[in-house]
Structure 1
Amino acid sequence: MTKTTTTGATRSELRYRVNQNYVTGSYGPMRYWASEPRHGTPLVFVHGYGALIEHWRPIMRRVAREHTFFALDLYGFGYSARPAGLSSRERWAAQVATFINKIVGGPAVVIGHSMGGVVVSELARSRPELVRGLVLVNSSGMQLYERPMSPADRVLLNLIGTPLVGEAVANVIATEWGVRQALLSAYHHKERVTPELVETFAGPLERFGSQSYLNTTRNAENLVIKLEPGEYEGPALLMWGSEDRSLPPTDANAIKRRALPQAEIKLLPDCGHCPFDEIPDLFADTLLRWVNGLGEHEKSTNTAV
Structure 2
Amino acid sequence: MARNSDSSKFVNATRARKRVEADTTTTTSSTTKNGSAFTQCYACNKDVVVALISMRDCGFEAKIKMNLGNRCGLTRRDLATKGIVAAGASVLPSSLVSPPAQGLERLPFKSEGYKFWTWRGHKIHYVEEGEGFPIVLIHGFGASAFHWRYNIPELAKKYKVYAVDLLGFGWSEKALVDYDALVWRDQVADFLKEIVKEPTILVGNSLGGFTALVAAEAMPEQVVGIALLNSAGQFGSPEDDARTEIEESPLQKFLIKPLKEVFQRVVLGFLFWQAKQPARVESVLKSVYKNTSNVDDYLIESITKPADDPNAGEVYYRLMTRFMSNQRKYTLDSVLSKLSCPLLLVWGDLDPWVGPAKAIRIKEFYPNTSIVNLQAGHCPHDEVPELVNKALVDWLATLPSTAPQTV
TM-score (norm 1): 0.80
Q: Secondary structure at the match of 1:142?
A: coil
Partner deviation per Cα, 1:199-227 (whole Å, 9 max, x = no partner): 22111012343332332222235445444
Residue matched to 2:344: 237
Residue matched to 2:170: 78
1:113 aligns with 2:205: yes
1:261 aligns with 2:367: yes
Q: Secondary structure at the match of 1:267?
A: strand
Displacement of 1:118 in angstroms is 1.1
Residue matched to 1:65: 157
Partner deviation per Cα, 1:249-276 (whole Å, 9 max, x = no partner): 1111222334x332111111x2111111
Partner deviation per Cα, 1:160-214 (whole Å, 9 max, x = no partner): 9823222222122122122112212221112221122112211101234333233
Partner deviation per Cα, 1:18-53 (whole Å, 9 max, x = no partner): 9921111125110011114x22x1000000000000
Displacement of 1:297 in angstroms is 9.1
- Tell which has more relative contact order, 1 or 2 (C-alpha 8 A, sep 6+): 2
Percent of aligned positions that are identical: 28
| Distance change in 2, residues 1:225/1:161 (3 Å) | farther
1:285 aligns with 2:390: yes
Residue matched to 1:251: 358
Residue matched to 1:53: 145
Aligned residues: 268
1:33 aligns with 2:122: no
Alpha-carbon distance between aligned partners in 1 of 2:174 and 2:336, rounded to the nearest angstrom: 33
1:220 aligns with 2:312: no
Computing the radius of gyration from Cα coordinates, the structure with the larger value is 2
Unmatched segments (≥5 aa) in structure 1: 1-12, 149-157, 299-305
| Distance change in 2, residues 1:60/1:160 (3 Å) | farther
1:130 aligns with 2:222: yes
Q: Secondary structure at the match of 2:149?
A: helix
Partner deviation per Cα, 1:136-183 (whole Å, 9 max, x = no partner): 11001127869x9xxxxxxxxx89982322222212212212211221
**Which amino acid is 2:227 matched to?**
V
Residue matched to 2:292: 190
The structure richer in helix per residue is: 1
Unmatched segments (≥5 aa) in structure 2: 1-104, 241-259
Alpha-carbon distance between aligned partners in 1 of 2:367 and 2:263, rounded to the nearest angstrom: 35
TM-score (norm 2): 0.61
| Distance change in 2, residues 1:188/1:31 (3 Å) | same
